Structure formats: C-alpha cells, structure tokens
Amino acid sequence: MSEPVNALGGARFDGIVQVTEVAPQGMITVRGDLGAGAMEKAVMKAAGLPIPAKTSVVMKGDHAVLWMSPDELMVVLPHGDAPAAVAAMTAALKSEHALVVDVSDARAVFALEGEGPALRETLAKLSPADMRSAALPVGVVRRTRLAQVPAAFWFANDTEARLICFRSVASYVFGILSHAATPGSEVGHFS
C-alpha cells in the first residue's frame, strides 16, 4: 500500500497558539438515518463509539465520531484502519439507504494547542461562529467558515482544538491560522 502523505508535511507554527498539521488521519463520511439501529451498530463496530448527540463529538483515544448534519457523521480513526472500516460499515448498512465514503485523503487536520482564551481568539478572528465557551463548549462540533473556506472544528479539551478542512485548501488554512496566531496579535477578548 502507498504511504499516506500530509498535505503540508506536518507543518507547524508556534505563536500565541501552536498550529500543527496532524499526521494522516482516517476519516470516513457516513450518511443515512442516524436513528436506525443498523447505523448505531455499524458506527460502534467501526469506531467503538456511540452516535453523538446533535452537534456533538464523541472521542476515545485516537477514535472520534463527529455529528456533521441530521443525516451525516464523520468517523475519525487511524489512517490504516479506514479501508477495512469502510468495508465493514458498508456491509453493515447494506439494507439501509446509506453512504460510506473514505475521505481521509481529501481532508487536512490541524491541531491548535494553547491557553483556552488564545485558542478561542485565534478561531474567532477567522470565523463568524460564536466562540464563547458557553456557545461552543468542549465536545461540540462547529461547521463554519474560516475566512473564505469551509471548515469544522471542536475543542477536544480546554487547551486543544481540532480543525478539519478540505485538503485542497490546507496551505491557505495553515497560512490564515498562523497569521491569526502571530505573537503580538493578542486581543484579549476572551481572557
């Protein structure tokens, strides 16, 4: 099998937050009736996690399941596990009106690490989303716009946010995140 390669070779920027391109992740888009029993079983089998509540993410180790829309989930898992998980989920959802697609190589993932207020400020500079912790607590996924491109992000904990964007705009997103995290650009809105 070919070696998975990062869009930006694992780029990193150290500013008021650390922006790091995460090593290749397995990402599977699943669409269908999220309330169906077969769906719950398929997701549990692939990720070992239940279906998340509306707008939430459930995480365990290097696995996560993100609620993307009323009929869409994203399953995050180790890159090498994705093909087998797609095959297993496709088989488990055979009798459902559902779709399972490996999008691992079509997305880029960034980790943002730092103090909570700085993290929220960095994202708030780029997105119209309400970044207050009451509006976007840990464990809630926000699909939104980051400057000119779509992105989804969530707080894994108080000091780390994860962000997914299309791989084709990885360089643009890394650039704007680094710019928003430039030392000296602190606004202090959330502190």
Partner 1 sequence: MLILTCPYCGVACDETELSPGGEAHLKRFGPGSSDEEFETYLFHRENPKGVHFERWRHAYGCGKWFHAARHTMTLEVFGTYPAQVYEPPEDIKAAITAKVPGWSWRDFS
Give me the residues that bind partner 1 (CB under 8 A), please: 54-55, 68-70, 72, 128-130, 135, 142-145, 150
3-state secondary structure of 89: helix
Choose between 65 and 92: whose C-beta lies nearer to partner 1.
Answer: 65
Integer Rg of the chain from CA: 17
| Residue (60 or 97) nearer to partner 1, CB | 97
Amino acid at 66: L
**Residue 146: CB minimum distance to partner 1, A:** 9
Pairing of strands 18-21, 141-146: unpaired
Q: Angle at CA 8, nearest 5°, toward 80 and 107?
A: 50
Other C-beta atoms closer than 10 Å to the C-beta of 71 total 15
- CB of residue 71 to partner 1, shortest distance in Å: 9
Residue 70 beta carbon to partner 1: minimum distance, rounded to whole angstroms: 5
Q: Amino acid identity of 64?
A: A
Instruction: Give least dist CB 150 to partner 1, A.
Output: 5
If the CB atoms of residues 93 and 126 are measured against partner 1, the closer one turns out to be 126
Q: Please report how close the Cβ of residue 54 comes to partner 1 at its closest, in angstroms.
A: 6
Residue nearer to partner 1 on the CB measure, 135 or 187? 135
Residues forming a β-bridge with 31: 72, 99
Do 92 and 38 form a contact (C-beta atoms < 8 A)? yes
- Considering the complex, state which of residue 71 and residue 115 has its C-beta at the smaller distance from partner 1: 71
Euclidean distance between CA atoms 138 and 96, whole angstroms: 32
